[in-house]
Amino acid sequence: MSVHLAEDFQAHVTAIQAAEEERVAWLKGFAGQLSDVVSKYRDATRDLDSEKVARRFSQQEAEEWRTKFERLQKSMEKSSFVLVLIDADADSYIFKDEYYSASDGGRKASLDLRDRVRDFLQSERPELANHPIVVKAYANELGLSQFLVASGTVKSPRDLLDFAKDFTQASETTDFVLVGSGKDRADKKIQGAYFMAYKIH
């Protein structure tokens, strides 16, 4: 009987040992799978964090560029203006006689011209209508004064000087410039003013 008991006990121990080995093997396999999952999770987390960082920096950079662009745009808007250049002794651009003959004709010519330009911009180029209007008229003093006196529009060359002074003083953005005598002298002044404005903008 003792022999059978010993054999039964040995068989029981063997069975327990086999079951334990099987359980250990399963635990090892599970541990390996768990380690693989944890490793993949860490990789995914690092990738996600890197993506978030990259996205955050991309958004920050985009915001910085947008801010710079808006500042530049506002700066350009503040410095923008509409430039009107006039060859005032050319036949097609000489002001009407009543402006030259009136006592305050220069002032009226300056303000009326500015208003007409504003009306044109509001109608044809509304995006420019709120910009300052800079008017620069150039004329050959000797040639224009002689023409006005000869036509009876003014009594003396001095009247043209008064007109130019009143035109210029009417607004801080309007000038009537009397240039020296000489062919195309006014044209050269207009070209110079145009290229200076072009370089600024």
Tell me which H or E stretch contains 83. strand 82-87
Count of structural domains within the chain: 2
pLDDT at position 184 is 72
Domain carrying residue 159: 79-197
Low-confidence stretches of the chain (pLDDT beneath 70) = 1-31, 34-38, 41, 43-45, 47-58, 61-62, 65, 68-79, 91-93, 182-183, 197-201
Same structural domain, 102 and 60: no
Cβ neighbours of residue 33 under 8 Å, at least 6 residues apart? none
Would you give the end-to-end CA distance of the chain in angstroms? 115
Decide which of 77, 111, 141 is a domain's last residue.
77
Three-state secondary structure of 60-77: HHHHHHHHHHHHHHHHHH
- Note whether 95 and 59 are same-domain residues: no
Instruction: Tell me the three state secondary structure of residue 99.
Output: helix
Spatial neighbors of 137 by CB under 8 A, at least 6 apart, are 85, 86, 88, 167, 174, 175, 176, 177
Contact by Cβ (8 Å): 102, 163? no
| Residues 69 and 90 placed together within one structural domain of the fold | no
Residues 101, 152, single domain; the answer is yes
Cα 57 from Cα 79, distance rounded (Å): 33
Q: In terms of domains, do 21 and 89 share one? A: no
**pLDDT tens-digit series, residues 19-56:** 556 655 655 665 677 666 667 767 666 766 666 655 66
The whole-number pLDDT of residue 16 equals: 47
User: 95 and 117: one domain?
Assistant: yes
User: Is the domain of 85 the same as that of 72?
Assistant: no
Same domain (yes/no): 56, 98:
no
